[in-house]
Chains A and B, each alone.
Chain A
């Protein structure tokens, strides 16, 4: 947002020429939700006479299940101001970032890899990061990259929603988020106009009430520089020029058995598998069926998860024949990506305590009879 005087006076006092909102979401499942929010921003601002545009990040298409993706809404004082935001893939600076799944605060990484980025990376100084979450602002902040600029974290009550997906019952997440955006940017989105838009579109007073609820229930948490976690890996790379690039579109590949140190997939993860090595029967099913080859064989013949490669798809937990041996756990309960077998090897009691605390299930090996019943052989 630039600070030059707007040529057209908007509804409220407004000294900027444009506003950009980005919605960060889980690919495919939340696509319609993100689209509804972005379209809502543009259409509500239109009621004040402001032109706008909404678009999805081209590099995310076709979206992959669960992989972070972005859509944008840009509203400007007039058509001339809007042009500066047109014909772009992605705004480099936004006024408001919206994350519709709180695990996204651990970082955003699209499938067309640009490296894991902090959720606030494009958010301008003194801008807003709106997160839908059932957690407290401090819990969310504890998993967000350490701030380099001050911003305000805003929590809209609610979980990660599939609202708008054709198989999923609508839960008004889109309307609540629009209410929250009206709260952080009233000069562009006056609450009354958002409500008027939703009333027109839905003819449903409960939807209008959800706008009001999102507006009223959103909690602000000002974030100072340095607040947040430094636990997330920061990757940087240089883009070579045409004189320094290898010809023939050639890049180094990995040698057999080697993992690509630059290819991280954990941005796609909302849950992660944790393994009870004491009940593992070494059947190889997780290792065989993992679509991303995340499991490494340990010297004891167990299989440990390489968390940097895991997208949290849950197939290992599904194919594991032993009950509660692989448990999928909320990603926000973790602030690191260390492999865990060595801890178990060193101190089983400590590891099992960690396993129980994270997974909420007992680490106690079942009786022989119970193990035999599940086909296992402890």
Chain B
């Protein structure tokens, strides 16, 4: 479909618009000059589909918009488009994400910089549209980069970062931005939309180099390798994931310089931690009700703060160790589950404990499962999390070293 795109006015200025997380992502697709996007509807990701289609229909964006016959084809389409040199975007949610799982797994193995969002949603059955992080987290071992956004602004900013980091030759890995269903995908917030010129200064052209699949550059991608080659290929993925920490740090510094946003650390967002004795730790939109709780608790004289994780993969182990060893106790809040795991905790809980294990001075880590299926985190729940974390910080073994379900009916 040929769309006549109006010439960008030279007087283009940064605007502030009221956008949902999904609409902010669609704006990022426009600004990044994406070549191919593949779509198949599932809530809450489909908000991006609709917003992107609208931009195309209004003549504001020119992108090859392919509606697939299912998520598996959807992710295969962008994988192949990426191999022939297209900047791509794709996304899904919940069980749709899982239906695409074969394509998702091989995309990381192929080192193709597919940029996706996973509009986080509970896995059916039973049917539920609300957020849970287990869809994104299912790919955590496969070589996908996994950042999580808190606001609509951060959704757009992470998307612009995503193409820059994923397409960097030192990384060349796919990336899936976690967007909490409803709270982020379908909630409007003011978003600063940068100019195309500023984005162009931040985001270089996609260049696969001699890996480009093209008749003039005859290559075979992914032949049968067997045990003779596979371990070396896995080791390359491992090296790329390690390198991603450096590339994210560089991109974050450039982002701050050009757009003036992004916070102090590329990996962690700390809130009221300077004098904190205990902190909450989590990712995504649960930071919002927890910040409200922190302000209320601070007013009562409690020294409490929040550390929000921005990148789950690569896991910023050193930054987390440096941050969390400052506190007496850490309450890790998981909007996910990992049935049968150590201490029956969530995924984040066990990763944080593992990162801290070799530290001589380390905080007590308490686990909380909260907000599953998109259940709202209300202030009494935040209180309970706080009290248990404080008790653990005082050395109460009946609370620490275990995981608690919050806001669940007995």
Binding site for B on A (CB under 8 A): 59, 89, 112, 114, 239-242, 245-256
Contacts and interface: CB of A to CB of B under 8 A. Distances in A.
Contact of A250 (B221, B232, B240): B221
B239 A250 contact: no
Given A247-B211, A247-B240, A252 B219 contact: yes
Interface of B: 109-112, 172, 210-211, 215, 218-229, 232-233, 235-236, 239-240
A251 B219 contact: yes
Contacts of A250: 210-211, 219-221
B230 to A, nearest CB: 9
Contacts of B223: 249, 251
Contacts of A245: 229, 232-233, 236
Contacts of A242: 232-233, 235-236, 239
A89 B232 contact: no
B300 to A, nearest CB: 54
Contacts of A112: 224, 226
A254 B223 CA distance: 14
B110 A239 contact: no
Nearest to A251: B220
Given A112-B226, A246-B210, 11 more contacts: A239-B229, A242-B236, A242-B239, A245-B236, A247-B111, A247-B236, A247-B240, A248-B221, A249-B221, A249-B223, A249-B225
A247 to B, nearest CB: 5
Nearest to A255: B218
Contacts of B109: 249
B110 A248 contact: yes
A346 B159 CA distance: 68
Contacts of A114: 228
22 contacts: A59-B226, A112-B226, A239-B229, A240-B232, A242-B233, A242-B235, A245-B229, A245-B236, A247-B172, A247-B240, A248-B112, A248-B221, A249-B110, A249-B221, A249-B222, A249-B225, A249-B233, A250-B211, A251-B220, A252-B218, A252-B219, A252-B220
Contacts of A89: 227
B341 to A, nearest CB: 29
Contacts of A246: 210-211
A280 to B, nearest CB: 32
B43 to A, nearest CB: 34
A241 B228 CA distance: 11
A247 B209 CA distance: 11
Contacts of B235: 242
A89 B227 CA distance: 10
A95 B118 CA distance: 57
A253 B211 contact: no
A374 B315 CA distance: 74
A248 B211 contact: yes
Chain B CB within 10 A, most for which of A245, A250, A252, A256: A250
A1 B77 CA distance: 53
B370 to A, nearest CB: 40
B174 to A, nearest CB: 12
B142 to A, nearest CB: 15
Contacts of A248: 110-112, 172, 211, 221
A254 B226 contact: no
Nearest to A114: B228
Contacts of B218: 252-256
A59 B224 CA distance: 11
Contacts of B227: 89
Which 8 pairs across A and B sit closest by C-beta, in order of nearness?
Answer: A253-B218, A242-B232, A242-B235, A248-B111, A253-B220, A249-B222, A248-B211, A242-B236
A252 to B, nearest CB: 6
A250 B236 CA distance: 12
Nearest to B106: A249
A255 B217 CA distance: 8
A252 B191 CA distance: 46
A256 B227 CA distance: 30
A253 B214 CA distance: 11
Contacts of B220: 250-253
Contacts of A239: 228-229
Contacts of B219: 250-253
B80 to A, nearest CB: 13
B377 to A, nearest CB: 42
Contacts of B172: 247-248
A214 to B, nearest CB: 35
A42 to B, nearest CB: 25
A59 B230 CA distance: 14
A248 B240 CA distance: 11
Contacts of B224: 112
Contacts of B229: 239, 245
Contacts of A252: 218-220
B375 to A, nearest CB: 42
A245 to B, nearest CB: 6
A246 B223 CA distance: 13
A247 B111 CA distance: 7
Contacts of B240: 247
A59 B228 CA distance: 11
Contacts of B239: 242
Contacts of A249: 109-111, 221-223, 225, 233
Contacts of B111: 247-249
Contacts of B236: 242, 245, 247
B95 to A, nearest CB: 29
Nearest to A59: B226
Contacts of A59: 226
Contacts of B211: 246-248, 250
Chain B CB within 10 A, most for which of A89, A241, A247: A247
Nearest to B208: A248
Chain B CB within 10 A, most for which of A89, A247, A248: A248
Nearest to B213: A250
A70 to B, nearest CB: 15
A253 B220 CA distance: 5
A242 B227 CA distance: 14
Nearest to B224: A112
Contacts of A247: 111, 172, 211, 236, 240
